[in-house]
């Protein structure tokens, strides 16, 4: 979460080229003063070569100062809003900033934001060499020291496991069916996430090499010894179906169960009330659905969710829809029906419906017309001369 927001903020504030992020700033003051010779230089040398400077670099003192200012500012903000400075969380900060600086900008990332400097300023590596100029890390001259050191670590672990295996074999306790690491429901880190973790650029081939090495580690029988290390590089996938909120099942005075749900498609908004009464009546905007949708295609769209769960003649449907055209209205109604059905249906069915695409809102909207073109894609007649 922090990584993604950091990434987001970072992209707005500074553009990064693909050059290295290595720092080389602030020469120490103990360098002996060499005799300076006046050299005649042209004015072109005085102009700042912006491209060669590379991405802007921040010193550690600068970042510490920012953190201090942030903490102080947080307390000020809490006082301003009349809340307790001790228990002022980031959500409260966001809320207060949105209240004090209301912005009509559509792009959320362009709005005023107040976050911890660690999230705003990109992570940078500290100085990699000592006062003499000698690098700390033994792999510094590879150019990608964190990546190669990681690879070294992984190989170290592989060797350790092999030694463990040999030990077990010599004792005669070698078994293939040991505790396996549970990998379902998680995925490997993406290349971008890898780059963030290592704070240096990783190429595609490097990343693939890393994943191959991890797979090799996993293929060994005693890999559960390094479970913690491996899980550091796996990300849990969220269970998609748990994200859908199921509308509550209500009961009307006669004891008939009903549920209400909404759906949208391309400017068409629909609301549906599903009643569990056992007849197949269907009213839309007060009219019979046969009159409202004379086209078979629209009625098939409406039939799809009910037919999928096999409850065609069980429900009484009452719907209202407005906006857009007949196809969009049918799509909006279909989404509303699927959502309303969630409360009548079991968990497994919900997952099946999600996989069938019944619960996904169709994000397609009318594409904007561009200037200099006839429409969104159509160009004016091309004249050769």
Partner 1 sequence: MKHNVIVINQLITVNNLLFSTHLLTLFLLNMNLHKLSSRLCPTVTQKFRHLHIQSSGQQLEAVAVETASAEPNPLSVFRTSEQDPAYHSERQSGQYYTFPPAHIQKLFPHGLPPRFQLQIKTFNEGCVMVRPPALELISYLKRADYSKPPLRYVLYGDTGTGKTLSLCHALHYCYTQGWLIVHIPDAHLWVKNCKELLPSSSRPSRFDQPIQASQWLKNFKITNEHFLSKIKTTQRYVWTKRESTEMGQPLGELVDQGVNRMKSSSDVVGAVLRELRLQAGGITEGEGAFKLAVAVDGVNALWGKTSLKKEDRTLCEPEELTLIHNLRKMMKNNWSGGAILTALSQTGSLFTPQSAYLPNELLGEEGFDHMEPFVPVSVSNYDEKEFESCYLYYLDRNWLQHPHSRSEEGKKELIFLSNKNPSILERLCAFL
Nearer to partner 1 by Cβ, of 306 and 321: the residue is: 306
Nearer to partner 1 by Cβ, of 80 and 312: the residue is: 312
Nearer to partner 1 by Cβ, of 189 and 284: the residue is: 284
Q: What is the three-class DSSP state of 141?
A: helix
Q: Smallest gap, in angstroms, from Cβ of residue 13 to partner 1? A: 56
Number of residues that bind partner 1 (CB under 8 A): 16
What distance in Å separates the CA atoms of residue 228 and residue 240, rounded to the nearest whole number? Answer: 26
What distance in Å separates the CA atoms of residue 94 and residue 5, rounded to the nearest whole number? Answer: 13
User: Which token pair is 250?
Assistant: 């209500």
Nearer to partner 1 by Cβ, of 280 and 357: the residue is: 280
Nearer to partner 1 by Cβ, of 259 and 301: the residue is: 301
Give backbone dihedrals phi and psi of 275, rounded to 5 degrees, phi first.
-115, 135
Inter-CA distances, 176 with 173, 192, 212, 215, 225, Å: 10, 35, 21, 17, 14
- Residues facing 129 on adjacent strands: 135
Q: Which helix (H) or strand (E) holds 117?
A: helix 117-120
Select from 177, 167, 208 the least CA-distant residue to 191. 208
Select from 202, 23, 260 the least CA-distant residue to 122. 23
What distance in Å separates the CA atoms of residue 255 and residue 275, rounded to the nearest whole number? Answer: 11
Nearer to partner 1 by Cβ, of 209 and 299: the residue is: 299
Q: Smallest gap, in angstroms, from Cβ of residue 217 to partner 1? A: 51
Q: Angle formed by the axes of helices 90-100 and 60-81, to 10°?
A: 70
Q: Smallest gap, in angstroms, from Cβ of residue 349 to partner 1? A: 16
Q: Smallest gap, in angstroms, from Cβ of residue 288 to partner 1? A: 7
Q: Smallest gap, in angstroms, from Cβ of residue 100 to partner 1? A: 55
Nearer to partner 1 by Cβ, of 121 and 293: the residue is: 293
Q: Smallest gap, in angstroms, from Cβ of residue 164 to partner 1? A: 58
What distance in Å separates the CA atoms of residue 133 and residue 304, rounded to the nearest whole number? Answer: 71
Nearer to partner 1 by Cβ, of 78 and 345: the residue is: 345
Q: Smallest gap, in angstroms, from Cβ of residue 322 to partner 1? A: 18
Contact 285, 384 (CB under 8 A): no
Q: Smallest gap, in angstroms, from Cβ of residue 366 to partner 1? A: 28
* Footprint (CB under 8 A) of partner 1, residues 45-74: none
User: Which token pair is 78?
Assistant: 């809490």
User: Which token pair is 33?
Assistant: 């003063």
Q: Smallest gap, in angstroms, from Cβ of residue 289 to partner 1? A: 7
* Footprint (CB under 8 A) of partner 1, residues 268-327: 280, 282, 287-291, 296, 299-300, 303, 306-307, 310, 312-313
Convert residues 358-377 into a mask of x (bound to partner 1 by CB under 8 A) and - (unbound).
Answer: --------------------
Nearer to partner 1 by Cβ, of 312 and 361: the residue is: 312
**What is the maximum alpha-carbon separation in the chain?**
100
What distance in Å separates the CA atoms of residue 140 and residue 149, rounded to the nearest whole number? Answer: 10
* Footprint (CB under 8 A) of partner 1, residues 2-31: none
* Chain residues in the site for partner 1 (CB under 8 A): 280, 282, 287-291, 296, 299-300, 303, 306-307, 310, 312-313
């Amino acid at each position: 979460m922090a990584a993604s927001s950091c990434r987001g903020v970072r992209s707005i504030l500074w553009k990064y080229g693909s050059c290295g992020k290595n720092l080389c700033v602030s020469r120490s003051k103990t360098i002996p003063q060499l005799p300076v010779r006046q050299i005649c230089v042209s004015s072109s040398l005085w102009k700042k070569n912006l491209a060669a400077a590379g991405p802007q670099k921040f010193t550690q003192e600068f970042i510490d100062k920012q953190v201090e200012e942030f903490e102080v500012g947080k307390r000020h903000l809490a006082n301003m809003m009349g809340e307790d400075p001790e228990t002022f969380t980031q959500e409260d900060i966001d809320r207060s900033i949105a209240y004090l600086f209301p912005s009509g900008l559509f792009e959320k990332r362009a709005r005023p934001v107040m976050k911890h400097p660690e999230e705003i300023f990109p992570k940078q590596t500290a100085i990699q060499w000592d006062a003499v100029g000698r690098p700390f890390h033994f792999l510094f001259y590879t150019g990608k020291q964190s990546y190669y050191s990681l690879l070294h670590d992984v190989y170290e672990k592989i060797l350790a496991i092999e030694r463990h295996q040999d030990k077990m074999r010599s004792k005669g306790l070698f078994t293939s069916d040991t505790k396996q690491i549970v990998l379902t429901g998680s995925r490997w880190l993406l290349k971008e996430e890898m780059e963030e973790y290592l704070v240096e650029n990783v190429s595609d081939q490097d990343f693939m090499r890393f994943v191959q090495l991890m797979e090799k580690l996993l293929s060994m029988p005693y890999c559960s010894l390094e479970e913690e290390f491996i899980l550091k590089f796996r990300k849990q996938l969220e269970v998609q179906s748990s994200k859908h909120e199921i509308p509550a099942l209500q009961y009307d005075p006669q004891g008939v169960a009903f549920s209400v749900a909404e759906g949208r498609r391309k400017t068409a908004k629909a609301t549906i009330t599903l009643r569990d009464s056992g007849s197949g009546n269907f009213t839309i905007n007060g009219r019979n659905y046969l009159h409202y949708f004379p086209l078979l295609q629209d009625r098939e769209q409406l039939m799809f969710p009910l037919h999928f769960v096999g409850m065609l003649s069980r429900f009484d449907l009452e719907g209202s829809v407005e906006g857009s055209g007949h196809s969009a209205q049918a799509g909006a109604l279909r989404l509303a029906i699927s959502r309303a059905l969630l409360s009548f249906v079991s968990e497994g069915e919900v997952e099946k419906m999600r996989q069938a695409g019944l619960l996904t809102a169709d994000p397609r909207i009318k594409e904007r017309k561009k200037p200099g073109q006839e429409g969104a894609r159509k160009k004016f007649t091309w004249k050769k001369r």
